[in-house]
């Protein structure tokens, strides 16, 4: 595992949570008026640490949206509950009546032809204990693979779709209709980060259907092996939420897992997602 990165910043503070992934950022207030130098340093910290965290962001929803727009255009998610006043904001709410959570390793919206660059999530209501989010460095997960597995997946592509996640709650007619609008996506199993140039695993249990060109049993076996890489503690950091805490993560570099361990308490978070580009 590589040594901690020294992030050269003058307008923000950066406190790492682990040697390769996760850092808490200080000196920032989210909103439309974040100085250009801070935006640049936040962007660099995101590249260095894959996920960065901010505390005490008691700001408006408009500020949340405006902050996200410093880093790119925001998507509107077609399958989730979104705020009516700001449809770019996804609302994730769980309480004693919830039966399922986001407790599986995944990278957001890999079912899109151009998946997201990153997501910015703010905690609005937090349980007294539990509800942490775990993040895994998929560069480290790839680097740790045996050479024989790296050779096997070099140049391979996998098919991603919403069908085995959001699609499970749809009728067959609805799935067919949405597939016309959001067809299955073909992405490399090993993605090259467009800014850092690093290679990372880019398959996840939520949205990856199979590896192209393999027998389905062989594909399923290999995918299960690759998915397990995200469960390695040495590649992870874990974030304990407080009200108005924010996580900003790079979907091109990591996967995340929201622990669903807080019922019957309530957890409500809101997310904006920055549009990305086609993986290669």
| Residues designated as active site | 106, 108, 256, 271
Contact 92, 102 (CB under 8 A): yes
ω before 264 within 30° of 0 (cis)?
yes
DSSP character string of 46-81: HHHHSEEEE------HHHHHHHHHTSSPBP--SSS-
Closest CA to 196 of 50, 71, 47: 47
Cβ within 8 Å of residue 280, ≥6 positions away: 188, 191, 192, 194
Distance CA 157, CA 269 (A): 33
Strands annotated E in 180-251: 185-188, 190-192, 199-201, 208-211, 236-239, 246-250
- Tell me how crowded residue 67 is: count the other CB atoms within 10 A of its CB: 26
Closest CA to 80 of 270, 217, 276: 270
Work out the burial of residue 141: count CB atoms within 10 Å of its CB; fewer than 13 is exposed, 13-18 middle, 19 or more buried: buried
């Amino acid at each position: 595992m590589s040594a901690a990165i020294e992030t050269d910043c003058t307008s923000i503070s950066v406190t790492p949570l682990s040697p390769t992934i996760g850092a808490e950022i200080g000196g920032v207030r989210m909103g439309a008026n974040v100085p250009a130098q801070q935006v640049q340093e936040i962007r660099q910290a995101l590249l260095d640490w894959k996920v960065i965290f901010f505390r005490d962001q008691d700001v408006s929803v408009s500020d949340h949206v405006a902050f996200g727009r410093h880093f790119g255009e925001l998507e509107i998610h077609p399958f989730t509950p979104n705020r009516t006043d700001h449809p770019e904001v996804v609302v994730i709410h769980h309480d004693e009546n919830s039966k399922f959570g986001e407790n599986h390793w995944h990278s957001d919206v890999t079912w899109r032809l151009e998946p997201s660059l990153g997501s910015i999530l703010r905690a609005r209501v937090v349980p007294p204990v539990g509800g942490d989010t775990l993040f895994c460095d998929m560069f480290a997960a790839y680097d740790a693979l045996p050479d024989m597995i790296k050779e096997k997946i070099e140049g391979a592509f996998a098919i991603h779709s919403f069908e085995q996640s959001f699609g499970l709650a749809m009728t067959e007619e609805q799935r067919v209709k949405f597939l016309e609008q959001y067809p299955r996506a073909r992405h490399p199993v090993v993605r090259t980060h467009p800014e850092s140039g690093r290679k990372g695993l880019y398959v996840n249990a939520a949205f990856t259907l199979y590896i192209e060109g393999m027998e389905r049993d062989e594909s399923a076996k290999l995918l299960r092996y690759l998915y397990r890489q995200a469960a390695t503690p040495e590649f992870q950091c874990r974030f304990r939420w407080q009200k108005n805490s924010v996580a900003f993560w790079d979907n091109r570099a990591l996967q995340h897992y929201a622990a669903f361990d807080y019922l019957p308490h309530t957890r409500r978070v809101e997310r904006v997602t920055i549009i990305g580009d086609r993986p290669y």
